[in-house]
């Protein structure tokens, strides 16, 4: 029988804040929370953004003044609210009113004698362009030279323009991941990776060394990456721009730009992982493709622990320019047209992303999300928190296309399979009445028609009436590779708090949206934690990368564990889990109080060949108790003779 992948920890950061402790989810549904939960999450945001910290038993604000918590949170509540989720672009990454670009110009001579100009000697091009003559080179001691040019020539002139797109799902104002560890000019996506992976590992409530000494190194995996690679200046962006900008390429820009680098960073600087690693690259479905790899590993028994993640930091001018040129983004002009605004009127940037309503494009978001999966036996053995279970993840391509970015048939297949797999676990009645959909819900005209038709057809095929549909990109934007990670974090929050996030940026459903059998949530829906048995997470990626996941609620997972392992095993598990739950709460409370728990182990316990010993049955790594076994089943035993192929004697 297949082992069940259980979600035992998760963490991350996006426009809603820190993911662990369900704080990012809580920010989305903050109006539906009780007062204590609301204050706790606002306090978490204040600490995350450097506005508040607990020191020696006293709460201290950013100016070092002692404050009373409830009064202070009340005074900055609106600022915290406005400094999160989708909003007008800020200037922490670049100035959207001063986008740098070069304009090509042709300098013309005004007479037959040409013209002259002065350059610093070190700025002189080598070799000299045709038609250039150095006039005063006799004085070699001068650091300047006069150049005579006889002919016309082209130059690039520094220019600046205002961005066409002025909103995004930015990280909470004031949060800077580069300040939390020695970031050493790391691309922003890798800075987010370190924070998010640390958050996930700390949230487990079990010391990583305990896990490391329980599970053989080759049975731990990390699958994490980005869809675009690291394209800011510290990554591939700088690699491609440096010469054009008159700068030098650095030794870090090439290696740190690779799409799988988030996995590499987690292995090298957070966990010291020796097991499986890497990433699938599948555009906007990347997180679910990585999750599928993890699920297959755990189901098969090849791995017992897998960390799954994705990271994307796409908020930079070139990215905005590229997506806007595709007419994929909601720019200022299209938003004004939607709301019948004059040119001088302010755009409602908070409502830029409007899934399934009249809309004009998606809104980019930055995010890093990680989930920790154990197999069911290990989760019981270590008393791990049970946050949910991953039943199945299905992927499919789209078939033949005209435009590579247009949707096709693949998502019908993945959604149908995910729903069928869910029904296998919880039954037909629960599928119809106790599930909901985390839609891809990008906010583009094409998505609203194609995805709604898919969901409507699936609901009809399985006899579902009024299937609740959520779309959290309306809160945090589209983080591309990480988007399904945002959805998973929100789903775990709904399992805990029983509130399905509404699509609060819309006030109607567009006429061309398929509405049959669907309930597009235009307000938060309180259903109660015990009334959600499963959710379907859907992703549709450029190029035909479709993925849908069946995620099971914690109470369903516990029933499955009792069915397989027995009630006595569950009672024993609950005793073990008490200490784990307490440690998870301690971490969350410490983070709320402003303590930095970022894990970054640079040049830590680096091992060479002296650390490894092996024979023909096992490999032993220094300081790690479980050995790597070289005794494994021959999957092709029926095709071999005497445990190995032997050449038959032709005589």
The residues that are catalytic are: 284, 440, 478
Query: Angle of helix 554-565 relative to helix 567-592, nearest 10 degrees?
Result: 150
Is residue 186 within 8 Å of residue 235, measured between CB atoms? no
Residue 523 burial (CB count, 10 A): 12
CB 467 within 8 A of CB 436: yes
Tokens of 137: 């080179």
Do the strands 220-225 and 153-161 form a parallel or antiparallel pair, or are they unpaired?
A: unpaired
How far apart are the C-alpha atoms of 222 and 269, rounded to whole Å? Answer: 13
The whole-angstrom separation of Cα 117 and Cα 354 is 54
Return all residues near 285 (Cβ < 8 A) that are at least 6 apart.
395, 484, 539, 540, 541, 545, 546, 547
The DSSP secondary-structure symbol of 587 reads: H
Buried b (16+ CB within 10 A) or exposed e, 326-335: eebbbbbebb
CA angle 512, 435, 370 (to 5 degrees): 95
Buried b (16+ CB within 10 A) or exposed e, 174-186: bbebbebbebeeb
The DSSP annotation for 107-176 comes to E--SSTT-EEEEEEGGG--SSPPTTEEESSTT-TT-SEEEEEE-S-EEEEEEEEE--S--EEEPPPTT--
Q: b or e along 45-70 (b: 16 or more beta carbons within 10 Å of the residue's beta carbon)?
A: bbbbbbbbbbeeeebbbeeeeebeee
Residue 394 DSSP class: E
Contacts of residue 278, Cβ cutoff 8 Å, sequence gap at least 6: 223, 225, 260, 263
Q: Which of 430, 433, 449 is nearest to 441 (CA)?
A: 449
Taking alpha carbons only, the member of 250, 276, 268 closest to residue 187 is 250
Residue 614's beta-bridge partner residues? 619
Compute the residue count for the chain: 651
Minimal CA–CA distance to 496: which of 382, 584, 374, 366? 584
Q: Supply φ then ψ for residue 132, to 5 degrees.
A: -95, 140
Query: DSSP H helical segments within 549-607, as ranges?
Result: 554-565, 567-592
Q: At a CB cut-off of 8 Å and minimum separation 6, what does 497 contact?
A: 22, 25, 26, 29, 33, 37, 529
With both helix axes pointing from N to C terminus, report the angle between 410-426 and 445-461 in degrees, rounded to the nearest 10.
40
- Other CB atoms within a 10 A radius of the CB of residue 111 amount to 6
- 569 and 311 Cβ atoms separated by less than 8 Å: no
Instruction: Give the distance, in angstroms, between the CA of residue 356 and the centroid of all CA atoms in the same chain.
Output: 23
**Contact status, residue 394 vs residue 545, Cβ threshold 8 Å:** no
């Amino acid at each position: 029988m297949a082992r069940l992948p259980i979600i035992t920890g998760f963490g991350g950061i996006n426009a809603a804040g820190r993911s662990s402790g369900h704080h990012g989810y809580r920010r989305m549904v903050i109006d539906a929370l009780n007062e204590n939960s609301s204050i706790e999450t606002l306090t978490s945001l204040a600490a995350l953004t450097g506005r508040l910290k607990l020191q020696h038993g006293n709460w201290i604000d950013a100016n070092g003044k002692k404050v009373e918590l409830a009064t202070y949170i009340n005074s900055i509540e609106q600022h915290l609210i406005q400094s999160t989720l989708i909003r007008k672009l800020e200037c922490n990454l670049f100035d959207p009113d001063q986008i740098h670009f070069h304009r090509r110009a042709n300098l013309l001579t005004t007479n037959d004698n040409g013209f002259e100009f002065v350059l610093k000697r070190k700025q002189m091009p080598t070799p000299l362009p045709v038609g250039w003559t150095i006039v005063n080179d006799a004085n070699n001691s001068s650091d300047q030279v006069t150049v005579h040019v006889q002919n016309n020539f082209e130059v690039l002139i520094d220019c600046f323009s205002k961005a066409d797109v002025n909103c995004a799902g930015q990280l909470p104002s004031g949060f800077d991941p580069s300040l939390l560890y020695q970031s050493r000019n790391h691309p922003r996506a890798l800075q987010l990776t370190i924070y998010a992976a640390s958050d996930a590992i700390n949230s487990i409530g079990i010391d990583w060394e305990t896990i490391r000494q329980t599970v053989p190194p080759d049975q731990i995996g990390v699958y994490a990456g980005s869809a675009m690679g690291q394209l800011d200046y510290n990554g591939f962006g700088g690699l491609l721009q440096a010469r054009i900008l008159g700068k030098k390429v650095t030794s870090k820009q090439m290696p740190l730009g690779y799409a799988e680098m988030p996995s590499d960073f987690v292995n090298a600087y957070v966990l010291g992982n020796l097991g499986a690693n890497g990433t699938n690259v599948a555009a906007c479905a990347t997180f679910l493709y990585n999750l599928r790899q993890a699920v297959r590993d755990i189901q098969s028994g090849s791995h017992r622990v897998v960390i799954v993640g994705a990271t994307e930091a796409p908020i930079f001018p070139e990215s905005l320019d590229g997506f806007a040129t595709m007419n994929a983004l909601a720019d200022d002009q299209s938003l004004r047209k939607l709301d019948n605004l004059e040119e001088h009127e302010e755009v409602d940037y908070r409502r830029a992303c409007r899934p399934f309503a009249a809309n004009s494009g998606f809104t980019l978001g930055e995010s890093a999300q990680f989930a920790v999966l154990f197999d069911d036996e290990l989760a019981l053995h270590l008393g791990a928190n049970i946050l949910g279970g991953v039943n199945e993840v299905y992927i499919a391509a789209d078939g033949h296309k005209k435009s590579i970015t247009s949707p096709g048939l693949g998502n019908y297949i993945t959604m149908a399979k995910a729903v069928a797999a869910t029904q296998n676990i919880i039954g037909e009645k629960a599928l119809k009445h106790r599930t909901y959909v985390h839609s891809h819900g990008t906010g583009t005209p094409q998505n609203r028609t194609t995805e709604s038709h898919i969901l409507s057809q699936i609901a009809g095929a399985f006899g579902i009436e009024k299937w609740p549909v959520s779309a959290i990109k309306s809160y945090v934007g589209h983080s591309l590779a990480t988007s399904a990670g945002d959805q998973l974090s929100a789903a775990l929050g709904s399992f805990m708090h029983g509130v399905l996030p509404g699509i609060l940026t819309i006030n109607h459903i567009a006429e061309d949206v398929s509405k049959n059998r669907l309930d597009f949530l235009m307000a938060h829906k309180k259903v109660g934690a015990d009334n959600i048995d499963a959710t379907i997470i859907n992703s549709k990626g450029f190029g035909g990368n479709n993925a849908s996941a069946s995620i099971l609620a914690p109470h369903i997972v516990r029933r499955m564990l009792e069915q397989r392992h027995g009630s006595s095993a569950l009672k024993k598990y609950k005793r073990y889990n008490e200490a784990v739950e307490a440690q998870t709460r301690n971490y969350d409370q410490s983070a709320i109080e402003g303590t930095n728990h970022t894990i970054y182990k640079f040049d830590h316990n680096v091992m060479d060949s002296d650390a490894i010993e092996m024979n023909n049955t096992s490999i032993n790594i220094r300081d790690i108790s479980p050995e790597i076994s070289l005794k494994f089943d021959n999957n092709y035993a029926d095709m071999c003779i005497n445990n190995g192929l032997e050449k038959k004697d032709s005589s």
